[in-house]
Structure 1
Amino acid sequence: MKAFIGKHISEVRMIRVLVTDLGNVILRYDGAAGLARIQAKSGVQNAAEIFSKLIAELGYGKGQTESKAFFRRVKEELRLQMSFEEFCTAWSDVFEEDWDVINLLLQARVEKRYILSNTNDIHWTWIQQRHSKMLSLFDGAVVSHQCGAEKPDPAAYQQIVALSQRRPDEHLFIDDLPENVEGARQFGFDAILHTDLASLRAALSERNLI
């Protein structure tokens, strides 16, 4: 594998591990559609705002609240007319595999490929059930509700290093959020802000990974 020579000629990286986010990288994510379904069954007008605050307050993305307990609180606060199963479907049926991106990442000349995602138990259960073929193409996944840390917390990136057993500078991280990309760089990863397929292809090519 060729070393990646960055903008500064003295900086040489050997990328051995590719790490990708889920939502809006390998899975298209339409969060607004899920929130609209929840709003339609809610007895309050600002359901989306309250819902987002509850996720943070209850630490749901870090696994600090069990799913049915989370739902009970959401149902109460939003005056929600939905069963737990209906809620899970309404909130989770928002993902679509992006095979152009997935296939591009599979072409990368690396030793391992991992997923690092800020998610939650309900979404992750849905993804595992409906996107298992796609998940099987990766060597592993670190998800926030299981490891207790959300990007850009350094602890999230450390989980990947523990899994890969490689130095931070041997990792390339891809995410659609600038703060997560910056967090990865601060941790020592190389990182790409994902915006579109052509830019991603160019960034991988610059690093001699495809």
Structure 2
Amino acid sequence: MKKIKNIIFDYGNVIFEIDFRITQESLKQLGIPNIETFFGHSGHHNLFNELETGAITPAQFRDGIREIAQNSELTDQQIDAAWNSLLIGVLPETHNVLLEAKKNYRTFLLSNTNQIHYDYIMDYLQKEHNVPNNDHLFEKTYYSQLMKFRKPHVEIFEQVIKENNLNPAETLFIDDTPGHLEGAKKAGLQTLLMTEKPENLGTFLKSNGILI
């Protein structure tokens, strides 16, 4: 690995713990068929891509869930609860690791997310960590639903690089999804696959030569 000056972090299962299996079961309980192909870590229905790129609104997403579940009686609250069951949480120690990394590198957050999850996470951070958002942990934060692109689209990486005048060869991207790393490589970034749980982020960074 060449000398690193900048780090772009993914959020889910790098910093904030998520669990696809819980959400699969929750969506299944709503009446969603073929749940393994409908929503999974390695692939999912295009409804999620559209939500994550801001192509559809949360209301349109919920209507899509009702249509696929063939149940028009599902409430917004039921759908949101099932969808947000993906989100487990983040430890204070993980935030401390990010603050330490920020002292030695220019750090950024790049997350495939959506308005429903974003609103839930911001509320969670305020209640559990007494902070309004993730802004204090990074130089800048990027969320796919606001950028209108999602990983692994090369355009999303190129936007972060351009807006912050980053040298891709000196920039490391960390994600838990191999396919996302391929998009980052196309943009010239160095990449690292997260193979630990978020609670072990500090150990993982140190073992890969990152100064914290």
For Structure 1 versus Structure 2, the TM-score category normalised by the shorter chain is 0.7 to 0.9
Contact 2:10-2:109 within 8 A present in 1 as well: yes
**What are structure 1's unaligned runs of at least 5 residues?**
1-5, 7-11
Report the equivalent of 2:100.
Answer: 107
- Please report how far the alpha carbon of residue 125 of structure 1 lies from its aligned counterpart in structure 2 after TM superposition: 1.7
Equivalence map 1:4-83=2 (5 Å): 6=1, 12-15=2-5, 17-42=6-31, 45-47=33-35, 49-50=37-38, 52-55=44-47, 59-80=50-71, 81-83=73-75
TM (normalized to structure 2)? 0.79
Shift of 1:105: 2.9
Selected match of 1:131 from 120, 125, 149: 125
| 1:190, distance to aligned residue in structure 2 (A) | 2.2
The TM-score normalised by the length of structure 1 is 0.80
4+ runs deviating over 4 angstroms? none
SS in 2 for 1:77: helix
Aligned residue for 1:3? none
Q: Which runs of 5+ in 2 are unaligned?
A: none
**SS of corresponding position for 2:62:** helix
Moved more, 72-81 or 100-109: 100-109
* SS of equivalent to 2:55: coil
In our comparison, the structure showing a higher alpha carbon Rg is 1
Q: Does the C-alpha gap of structure 1 residues 45 and 157 become closer, same or farther in structure 2, counting only changes over 3 Å?
A: closer
Residue deviations 1:106-151, cap 9 Å, x none? 2224343221011122112211221253613233221111111111
Instruction: Give the share of equivalent positions with the same residue, in percent.
Output: 25
Give the residue type in structure 2 aligned to 1:69: Q
Alpha-carbon shift at residue 67 of structure 1 (Å): 1.1
RMSD: 2.3
What SS is found at the alignment partner of 1:18? strand
The answer for the alignment partner of 1:202 in structure 2 is 207
